[in-house]
Each structure stands twice: as C-alpha cells, then as structure tokens.
C-alpha cells in the first residue's frame, strides 16, 4: 500500500461492545488505547517520553492533528522523522498504528505569540483547540478502543507507567497534576512549579459569576481579572504526598487526561461554544458530568510541561 492509502476493509465487521473491556488492569486484559495529541509544535522530548511508556506498544495507537501552514509543516516533518525510526519493521517496540490529520486551517494564534495566554485571546484560541480535538477524536476513535489518553505535544516528562497508573484508579476520566521544571534563581537550583490551572473544584463565587453572565460569556481560570476562588488542583500538590490521593474535580485540563472510551462514545466532546460558561477541556468535564461521568484528579501524581 502506498502512503495515504488504506487497506480495503472487509465487507462486514461485527463488534460486540461488551467484548471491549475497560478495567483497572488494561495490560492484563489487553485493552487498546488511543493517544491523541493536538500538535502545533514538535518536541523531541515529547517523543522520547512517549517511546518510554511501558504500556505494551502493540496496544497503543497514536493520533495527531496538525494545523496548516509553515509551523505545522515543520512539526509534521519533525514528527515524521522520529516516526520513521520508531515504526521501522525491525523495531519490536513499535506502535500499533499512527494517524496524522493535517487541518485545512491555520492556527488562529501562533505558538510564538507572547499574548496567546491573554484573556482576550483565550475564547477564540480555545474554541479552535476544541474543534481540533473534536476532529481528531471523531475520526480516530474506533469500535475496539477501550481508552483515550489526551497528551499535549509539550508534555515532555511522565512516569513510564503513566497509563497503567492512571487506569488503575478505574475512573471514567482522570487527570494528573501538570507541573513545570524551571531554574529557581533564589535557590540557584532546579525547582518545580504548577503549570496547568484548568483542573479545579467549583466555587460558590464562580457559580455566582456564571449565574450573572450572558449566554456567550465564559469563565476562565488563572486570570487576575476574573477571581473565581475555585480550588485549583495545582495548589493541592504535595511533592511528598501519596501519589494515589484522589480528588473529585469539576473542571479538567487536557495536557494529560485519561478517558474511558465510553465517555466519548456517549457523546462527551470538547465544546467550542460556551457550555455552562465553560469551553474546551473544562467544558468537556462538565459535559461528561451531565452524562453521569465524574472527573477525578491526582494532585500528587505529576507530569511535566515544556519550559519555553
């Protein structure tokens, strides 16, 4: 088969959905996982970390969605170069399959832009991210997928047992704490600090704020202009605490996020529009909750975001 072609599917395929188990022992039960990554910029450290995951690689399929344009072209080339080695037929540790979607849209805000985190830019930016995540999800989720791991392209360090560790909690959706390594000038030493503020427990203030908002307004986390007094998982971390400590969450971040496939199959997606005044991954947690699937956070279990 030439690149870009697909093997002709057999005329009829039957899938019994109760044969697709989703358990706390996905390795023992040979459960398939789909790792989905929206990719605007490629980091070698991301791929190094991915390849080191100890979950059986023949159970892992990868899906990427990459924007159109110069930056996306570069990311595609860099990804492709690493894939060629990893997926070599001689490599016993290669992944089950890889799908790369190239969007027909350029990103609204380039990765370089300093104010991509500015409050004013967030709604448009996160709506575009939602559409990218949905397109990736809707086109790669298969009838035999048990798990979906959302993993951003700038997550460069996780425990190798990330998938097994998260799955062992047996939760519909579960999110580790996303931190960042940096050089602490005061200590003149490497240190860690919180990075992702999208995993939180709701607050009366935020609910009141939402109650007064117009239908198109959204609440965003981590902006001084909009104090929500939500309890952020980022600040619940205890570096020496039990890594298995769980906390119930109302919003989740998507830098690393494990989801049982039936949560998505029921319809949970990333709302590109205000959904209970939330969008993207935070809106996803709200939608999953509407479907009966509550989010769990692991405040003392860490993954690390690239430091630009």
Residues that bind a copy of itself (CB under 8 A): 1, 3-18, 68, 80, 83, 87, 94-104, 130-131, 134-135, 137-145, 262, 264-267, 269-273, 290-291
Give the nearest residue (CB) to ligand GDP. Answer: 107
* CA 268 vs CA 15, 68, 264, 271: distances in Å: 21, 26, 5, 9
- With beta carbons less than 8 A apart as the criterion, state whether 228 and 206 touch: yes
Q: Could you tell me if 131 and 272 are in contact, meaning their C-beta atoms sit under 8 angstroms apart? A: yes
Neighbours of 15 (CB within 10 A): 9
Can you say whether the dihedral through the CA atoms of 15, 17, 19, 20 is positive or negative? positive
Please state the closest distance from residue 268 (CB atom) to a copy of itself, in A: 9
Q: Which is nearer to a copy of itself, 192 or 269 (CB)?
A: 269
Give CA–CA dist 88/259, Å, rounded: 29
Which residue, 111 or 168, has its beta carbon nearer to ligand GDP?
111
135 binds, among ligand GDP, Mn ion, a copy of itself, none (CB under 5 to 8 A by kind): a copy of itself
Of 64, 168, 167, 71, nearest in space to 116 by CA: 71
Residue from the set 66, 167, 258, 285 that interacts with ligand GDP by CB under 6 A = 66
Give the nearer residue to a copy of itself in terms of CB position, either 83 or 209.
83
Binding-site member from 154, 165, 196, 282 for Mn ion (CB under 5 A): 154
Q: Please state the length of the chain.
A: 308
Closer CB to a copy of itself, 188 or 216, in the complex: 216
Cross-strand bridge partners of residue 275: 278
Q: Binding to ligand GDP by residue 63, rule CB under 6 A? A: no
Residues 6+ positions from 22 with CB-CB distance below 8 Å: 31, 146, 147, 260, 261, 262
CB of 53 to a copy of itself, least distance (A): 17
Nearer to a copy of itself, 6 or 187 (CB): 6
Residues that bind ligand GDP (CB under 6 A): 37-41, 65-67, 103, 107, 111, 128-129, 132, 152-154
């Amino acid at each position: 088969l030439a690149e870009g072609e697909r093997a002709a599917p057999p005329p009829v395929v039957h899938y019994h959905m109760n044969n697709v188990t989703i358990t706390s022992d996905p390795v023992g039960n040979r459960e398939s996982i789909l790792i989905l990554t929206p990719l605007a910029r490629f980091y070698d450290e991301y791929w190094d970390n991915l390849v080191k995951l100890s979950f059986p690689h023949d159970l892992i399929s990868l899906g990427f969605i990459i924007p159109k344009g110069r930056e996306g072209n570069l990311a595609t080339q860099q990804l492709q170069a690493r894939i060629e080695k990893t997926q070599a037929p001689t490599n016993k540790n290669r992944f089950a399959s890889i799908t790369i979607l190239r969007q027909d849209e350029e990103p609204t805000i380039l990765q370089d832009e300093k104010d991509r985190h500015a409050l004013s830019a967030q709604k448009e930016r996160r709506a575009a991210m939602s559409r990218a995540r949905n397109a990736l999800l809707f086109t790669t989720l298969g009838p035999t997928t048990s798990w979906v791991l959302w993993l951003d392209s700038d997550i460069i360090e996780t425990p190798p047992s990330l998938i097994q560790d998260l799955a062992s909690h047996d939760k519909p959706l579960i999110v580790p704490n996303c931190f960042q390594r940096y050089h602490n000038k005061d200590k003149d030493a490497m240190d860690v600090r919180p990075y992702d503020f999208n995993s939180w427990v709701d607050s009366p203030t935020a609910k009141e704020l939402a109650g007064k908002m117009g239908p198109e307004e959204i609440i965003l986390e981590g902006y001084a202009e909009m104090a929500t007094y939500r309890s952020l998982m980022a600040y619940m971390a205890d570096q020496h605490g039990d890594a298995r400590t769980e906390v119930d969450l109302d919003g989740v971040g998507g830098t690393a996020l494990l989801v049982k496939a039936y949560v998505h199959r029921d319809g949970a997606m990333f709302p590109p529009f205000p959904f209970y005044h939330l969008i993207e991954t935070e809106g996803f947690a709200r939608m999953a909750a509407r479907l009966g699937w509550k989010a769990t956070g692991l405040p003392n279990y860490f993954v690390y975001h690239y430091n630009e």
